[in-house]
Chains A and B, each alone.
Chain A
Amino acid sequence: MSSRFFGQYLLEKGRITSQQLLDALECQKNIAAPIGTMALERGLLTAEQIKQVLQHQRQTKQRFGEIAVALGYLTKPQLDELLEDQETTHRVRLGEALVSKGYMTLENLEKQLKEYNKESEGFAAEVSAAFSNVAHKQIVRTFTDLMLMMFTRFGKQDIIIERCESGKEKVRLFRWVISQKIAGENVEFNCLLSVPPKLLLQMASTMLDESVSTADELTLDASKEFVNIANGNACAKLSEHGVSLTMMPPEVYETTTTPYPLHTKDVVCVHLAAPDAKLEVAFEF
């Protein structure tokens, strides 16, 4: 379970060195995402087809996309969509930078992108239209998505989204609340995970890799780290879309002794359900 950006993925897999990543990150700023590499990333073109288009391009001086369509490798709607997305694809620019620097072959990039995408995808589809009408939809959806991923993939628990509502009266607050302050250039919010005791113990057990039965100091520490990892991965995911966020360390509240003060007007609450317990993720904007 992870949503690291493509460069971090390659670094961790030992495919590139930290110096090569640093060079490529610098280099990518000056590179417009090439249509060929974007198509490669989406599985629309193979490395071999790109080479053929580039060969034609050298002879005809036509645009890459036009040749790919003429050769029947891409359809016109596919090309139009690629052109539309050209400005927002960090991953592709990084891949292109690695190839142009000679740190990776086009064939290897194709392979790495396929493996990366296979690892990253899958969960987005599970977070449904529940978020269509809420404020800060992208943030709410991404943080909820990664919290679900943490529970289901890492914690091996089935959690489903029941509904998503706005307004602080919609927040139920279970016995334990783990709150983390998150801030970016234009947004600041608290992300709360509210769970009953049973789920708190399950979260801690997941982190500690052993069964825990009391909410002691270590259990609370493990639960905070559970939330910290989910939220950090959400921040990493959003950074791919140009949203830069930083996090403060999480805090834990036992609401029976220390009521959590919901004070902001704009609260979005996502109600979740495990097979035998309810929980919620709430956002105080």
Chain B
Amino acid sequence: MSEVRKVSVLAVDDSKTMLAMIASQLKGSAFEIIATASSGPEAVEKFKQHKPQVVLLDIVMPEVSGIDTLERLLDADTDACVVMVSSAGSEDNVQACLKKGAKSFLQKPIQKDGMLATLKNVCQQVGVEL
């Protein structure tokens, strides 16, 4: 019997706690974290290296913000499937991210059901098979 292939995820957050929380919530799901990054530049590097199907990208990070990182990821691959993650889910913030090319937005504190539903939705949007 062949093993079901999981959707590969790059998780980006300057907080180790958030990375651990995301990993724990994705455990046993159809999604698998294949790499993590704690800054924008590291995210771009890991993205090019691992070519994940989905990126979970924090917005409030030191030096290079998540929004600037989103642009760099899209420069590297216009089809990059990026879901922004932030506690500051204001209308302006969400709109700015979607306009710049993010596929969706998750507000912290992340709830497992909401994250899985969002990841499923973006996979359907971009034609990634689950």
| A66 surroundings in chain B (CB, below 8 A) | none
How far, in Å, is A16 (CB) from chain B's closest CB? 10
| A18 surroundings in chain B (CB, below 8 A) | 98, 102-105, 122, 125
Question: Does the CB pair B109–A221 fall under 8 Å?
Answer: no
| A7 surroundings in chain B (CB, below 8 A) | 91, 94
Question: Does the CB pair A235–B88 fall under 8 Å?
Answer: yes
Question: Does the CB pair B117–A13 fall under 8 Å?
Answer: yes
Interface size class of B (residues with CB under 8 A): 35 or more
How far, in Å, is A143 (CB) from chain B's closest CB? 12
Q: In B1-37, which residues have CB < 8 Å from any A CB?
A: 14-18, 20-21, 24
Question: Does the CB pair A5–B117 fall under 8 Å?
Answer: no
Cross-chain contact of B106 among A12, A207, A222, A235 (Cβ < 8 A) = A12
| B114 surroundings in chain A (CB, below 8 A) | 12-13
The reply on B50 being an interface residue by CB < 8 A is no
Question: Does the CB pair B98–A21 fall under 8 Å?
Answer: yes
Take A11-B105, A22-B98, A232-B60 as given contacts and tell me if A239 and B91 are in contact as well, using a CB distance cutoff of 8 Å: yes
Closest to B16 in A: A221
How far, in Å, is B7 (CB) from chain A's closest CB? 17
Closest to A91 in B: B91
| A229 surroundings in chain B (CB, below 8 A) | 87, 108-109
CA distance A18 to B114 in the complex (A): 14
Q: In A258-281, which residues have CB < 8 Å from any B CB?
A: none
| A245 surroundings in chain B (CB, below 8 A) | 88, 90
Question: Does the CB pair B17–A240 fall under 8 Å?
Answer: no
CA distance A224 to B103 in the complex (A): 27
Question: Does the CB pair B89–A4 fall under 8 Å?
Answer: yes
Q: Identify which of A34-42, A57-65, A163-171, A246-254 touches chain B.
A: A246-254
Take A5-B91, A247-B88 as given contacts and tell me if A12 and B117 are in contact as well, using a CB distance cutoff of 8 Å: yes
| A217 surroundings in chain B (CB, below 8 A) | 16
The reply on B62 being an interface residue by CB < 8 A is yes
The reply on A218 being an interface residue by CB < 8 A is yes
Closest to A250 in B: B60
Question: Does the CB pair B18–A225 fall under 8 Å?
Answer: yes
The reply on A236 being an interface residue by CB < 8 A is yes
CA distance A71 to B95 in the complex (A): 39
Cross-chain contact of B17 among A1, A22, A221, A244 (Cβ < 8 A) = A221
The reply on B92 being an interface residue by CB < 8 A is yes
Q: In B93-130, which residues have CB < 8 Å from any A CB?
A: 93-95, 98-99, 102-109, 111, 114, 117-118, 120-122, 125
How far, in Å, is A60 (CB) from chain B's closest CB? 36
Q: What 1/0 flags go to A13-54 for Cβ under 8 Å of B? A: 110011001100100000000000000000000000000000
Take A11-B105, A21-B94 as given contacts and tell me if A236 and B60 are in contact as well, using a CB distance cutoff of 8 Å: no
Interface residues of B (CB under 8 A from A): 14-18, 20-21, 24, 60-62, 86-95, 98-99, 102-109, 111, 114, 117-118, 120-122, 125
Q: List 11 A-B contacts (CB under 8 A).
A: A12-B117, A25-B91, A209-B21, A218-B17, A231-B87, A232-B89, A233-B88, A236-B93, A238-B90, A246-B88, A247-B60
Interface residues of A (CB under 8 A from B): 1-2, 4-5, 7-8, 11-14, 17-18, 21-22, 25, 90, 154, 204, 207-209, 217-218, 221-222, 224-225, 228-233, 235-236, 238-240, 244-249
Which 9 residue pairs across A and B have the least CB separation, nearest first?
A232-B87, A239-B90, A232-B88, A222-B17, A229-B87, A225-B15, A4-B89, A4-B107, A235-B88
